Amino acid sequence: MAIDDASSLVKFCSFESGLKILNSQSLRWSAPHLLNDPFEVHHKSNPDFTPQTLLSSMIKEAVSLLFGPNEPTGKANRIIAAICRWREEDRFASEEEAEQVLKQLLSQIAQQQQESIDLYMTQWRNFSRSLRICSFIDKPNNQYGWQRYADNHAGIALRFSTGHDTALTNPKRVHYDPTPPTIISLKQQIAVTYGREKTPTANTEDFVDKVLRKNRINHAEREWRCFSIDTSEPNVDEQLWYTNKKFTTPELKAVYLGLACSSENKNAVINLVRNNYKSTKIYQAHTLPNRYEIDFQLLVDQ
């Protein structure tokens, strides 16, 4: 199996949430802002700079290039070309003198760049308003999943098949990074100004990548995400920006009962699955001796 392929994925949930999924035969797909992560980018996210800080940073970078020890590279960029010419001419006696000229030169460029940024942000907000995400973990023995999402082992886990003929057509693996995702960053825009990067263009692949980035301290969760687009008019209440999508009964491959799941809750799940999901297997979690690991025992009909 390739690293970015998954033939099945696991949804960890409390007993109550698991019962709702099983009874409704549907999964909730939520807009990014409903995922309860303060670092998640969504329709209200902003760039990490203002028009004023963009211009100030553009001037600061130009001054650094103008008075730095090494000649700038990339003369195809008109600003770099001008800076190289000024260096040869010893045009400015001080940084303060240069800043006045640079402010006039760069103000118009910053304004044009800001127009491009505003358009990009509009396209991002339209996309993120319609985006719906359903999150999973790759394996049922993931203790992070049991602790955080399955009521500290008192809940259950549901394993679904994935693929083009299922509700989970194209799952994508989450990447764990040391820095939070941004829609547009100041560093990126400075690189655009001086020709080190191209102007970012709005496209679905890049937008999806922004919601596949999480804090690396959570790497043990090994999350995967599936995506869909809701084309309906967004509800005025942003807490209702979710979609309940059906799955077929054969797609639910297995149900795992948590270590701390009560006997009453276990029996309720077992009866529901055996009545409504004939091909779904049921497993009971148990610990392995002398190891911080979980394994599962298949429950057979009595």
Our count of domains for the chain comes to: 2
Residue 204, judged by CB atoms within 10 A of its CB (0-12, 13-18, 19+), counts as exposed
Q: Does residue 1 sit within a domain?
A: no
- Residue for token pair 């699955």: 273
**How many Cβ atoms sit within 10 Å of the Cβ of residue 83?**
27
Q: What is the pLDDT of residue 81?
A: 94
Q: What is the pLDDT of residue 77?
A: 93
What's the alpha-carbon Rg for the chain, to the nearest Å? Answer: 26
Q: In the structure encoding, which two tokens stand for residue 244, read together? A: 């309940």
Its domain, for residue 77, covers 51-125
Q: Indicate the residue among 85, 107, 125 that finishes a domain.
A: 125
Q: Does residue 46 sit within a domain?
A: no
Dist CA 274 CA 282 (whole Å): 9
Contact predicate 286/294, CB 8 Å: yes
Q: What is the pLDDT of residue 75?
A: 87
Q: Does residue 2 sit within a domain?
A: no
Task: For the chain, 302 residues long, give each residue's pLDDT as a single digit of tens.
Answer: 334 568 999 999 999 999 999 999 999 999 999 998 999 999 999 999 999 999 999 999 999 999 999 999 988 999 999 999 999 999 999 999 999 999 999 999 999 999 999 999 999 999 999 999 999 999 999 999 999 999 999 999 999 999 989 999 999 999 999 999 999 999 999 999 999 999 999 999 999 999 999 999 999 999 999 999 999 998 999 999 999 999 999 999 999 999 999 999 999 999 999 999 999 999 999 999 999 999 999 998 74
| Shared domain check, 188 and 88 | no
Please name the helix (run of DSSP H) or strand (run of DSSP E) that holds residue 52, with its range, or none. Answer: helix 51-67
**How many Cβ atoms sit within 10 Å of the Cβ of residue 41?**
20
Q: Indicate the residue among 75, 103, 125 that finishes a domain.
A: 125
Q: What is the pLDDT of residue 211?
A: 97
| Shared domain check, 239 and 112 | no
Q: In the structure encoding, which two tokens stand for residue 159, read together? A: 């394993």
Q: In the structure encoding, which two tokens stand for residue 102, read together? A: 């640079």
| Shared domain check, 136 and 103 | no
Dist CA 225 CA 137 (whole Å): 9
Q: What is the pLDDT of residue 2?
A: 38
Contact predicate 39/176, CB 8 Å: no
* Of the candidates 162, 173, 171, 157, the residue with the CA atom closest to the CA atom of residue 294: 157
Dist CA 113 CA 115 (whole Å): 5
Dist CA 194 CA 73 (whole Å): 10
| Shared domain check, 140 and 275 | yes
- Residue for token pair 């890049």: 206
| Shared domain check, 242 and 121 | no
| Shared domain check, 88 and 139 | no
Q: Does residue 160 sit within a domain?
A: yes
Query: What is the pTM (predicted TM-score) of this model?
Result: 0.90
* Strand, helix or coil for residue 148: helix
Q: Does residue 3 sit within a domain?
A: no
Dist CA 55 CA 103 (whole Å): 8
- C-alpha count within 13 angstroms, C-beta hemisphere, residue 107: 6
| Shared domain check, 288 and 210 | yes
Q: Does residue 92 sit within a domain?
A: yes
| Shared domain check, 208 and 69 | no
| Shared domain check, 229 and 83 | no
- Going from the C-alpha of 253 to that of each of 34, 166, 200, the distances in angstroms are 27, 12, 41
Q: Does residue 168 sit within a domain?
A: yes
| Shared domain check, 70 and 15 | no
| Shared domain check, 114 and 84 | yes
Q: Indicate the residue among 71, 94, 125 that finishes a domain.
A: 125
| Shared domain check, 170 and 60 | no
Q: Does residue 28 sit within a domain?
A: yes
Dist CA 273 CA 229 (whole Å): 30
